[in-house]
Structure 1
């Protein structure tokens, strides 16, 4: 009598299981990459523009980068020391790009690239703009001067050091000036005429401290920034460039402590601190997204009703 041999399918070995896991990971990565490639190659819409956001790794800067990318702008996320935060902003934007590509959305979501530079150093600013052009393949159309430092909160003027003063002014005043200068060189319709430059828009992030005078060094620097904007608003339009500013009130960022917020809440008619995303909306408007195209030399106070 013939004996029938039946083979039992063996359980997958550990090696086979590992191969399956790696294969699934590869397919997931390929899917995401294909989605981005499909979006960049088949989307009928191009980027609305390319915006350099200084101090773009956190707070108002990070919120601005995310908002602009969601509205179709490519963004250069500048940072000085927060590389992890800057890459986190870019990863967030990349994830949104993948999501839109997978959903077959025809809305263009901008690309984001982190670029390290200390805006208080003249040479770093030049390298920042060189890097923007080399990595994106074109000059920027917008600049957001957001990078800034607070400096000492309480200052006895008789003990104020030149080192402290220079540090705040270098970042909050010289930095925006260096950035404005490089921007005009590269996109001004006269300065860069041979390159076919079409101009652009600049937004300075000022502060209500320019009105209140506190903290002293920070307030001094923001007052100087406002004066720079007022002067440039008279000359830059001839280069096809608009310049404006937003003056946020107390906003929920890492520069502001909970105690500072509690202290000023009674002075704010709306009864709360601002959110970075709300300031980002004003910045986008002044850049010309959804309006703002006739604004030049304007400073919008976004402070919940506080003067």
Structure 2
């Protein structure tokens, strides 16, 4: 007869009770992260904006493998919809313990001189305001600790001149949010970290008007290739995990050395 130790039982309980919200999880990095977390024993809420079919596919991927997942449509740049999202998670899965802020949009490539306020504000409300509001709602529920990972971008360091300076600025704001919030909530046992993906093979490049952008830019990457969503998801999952229990306020570059 094998008797589990208290440490093993506590670890099992922790795994069972891990409840994650992943925003923008119907495609790309968000979908890869949700699938990986589901495989690791998290109950996962897949947030999406438009593509219900894709979100349901992510849910199915998790549930047919014995995991627990639900999908919920919400525009996370809208405060009332974020509140509704987290209330839904409370009811369907329980109080959130882990949050992945992953939503991010690009608009067609342009120089700053050609950008208007509507474009800039759309980028900022989606890529920045949503992270703040989702963090706020998560913190209200993380009474006994938790972990947050904010998905930034290598663009926060490069500035993306002549292409996406507005997007780059929004991700720079996320780096600052990550550092500041990590200090605000560290004493509560809540860890806040980030990842900066580089050139990753996702649909977002098509949104910006150049679907083959990574092919063009791969020679500039030290590893000579673009990354996969799963490679970013692995970094996110590690930062969320107990293996990173002494890591907070840290941003990991997943950029192929660039």
- Output the TM-score relative to the length of structure 2: 0.89
Counterpart mapping for 1:119-198 below 5 A: 119-136=76-93, 138-155=94-111, 157-187=112-142, 197-198=143-144
Query: Which aligned runs of 4 or more in structure 1 are off by greater than 2 angstroms?
Result: 43-46, 256-259
Instruction: Flag the structure with larger Rg.
Output: 1
1:185, distance to aligned residue in structure 2 (A):
1.3
What secondary structure does 2:16 align onto? coil
Paired with 1:153 and 1:239, the residues of 2 have a C-alpha distance of: 41
Whether the aligned pair in 2 keeps the contact of 1:252 and 1:274 (CA below 8 Å) is yes
Partner residue, 1:39: none
How many pairs does the alignment contain? 240
Give the unaligned 5+ runs of structure 2: 1-11
> Residues 45 and 209 of structure 1: is their aligned pair in 2 closer, same or farther, counting only changes over 3 Å?
closer
Partner residue, 1:71: 40
1:198, distance to aligned residue in structure 2 (A):
0.8
Instruction: Note if 1:225 corresponds to 2:174.
Output: yes
Counterpart mapping for 1:1-307 below 5 A: 47-97=16-66, 110-136=67-93, 138-155=94-111, 157-187=112-142, 197-214=143-160, 215-256=164-205, 257-289=210-242, 291-306=243-258
1:269, distance to aligned residue in structure 2 (A):
1.4
1:91, distance to aligned residue in structure 2 (A):
1.0
1:283, distance to aligned residue in structure 2 (A):
0.2
RMSD of aligned C-alpha atoms? 1.6
Whether the aligned pair in 1 keeps the contact of 2:203 and 2:211 (CA below 8 Å) is no
What secondary structure does 1:301 align onto? strand
Give the unaligned 5+ runs of structure 1: 1-42, 98-109, 188-196
What secondary structure does 1:232 align onto? helix
What secondary structure does 1:96 align onto? coil
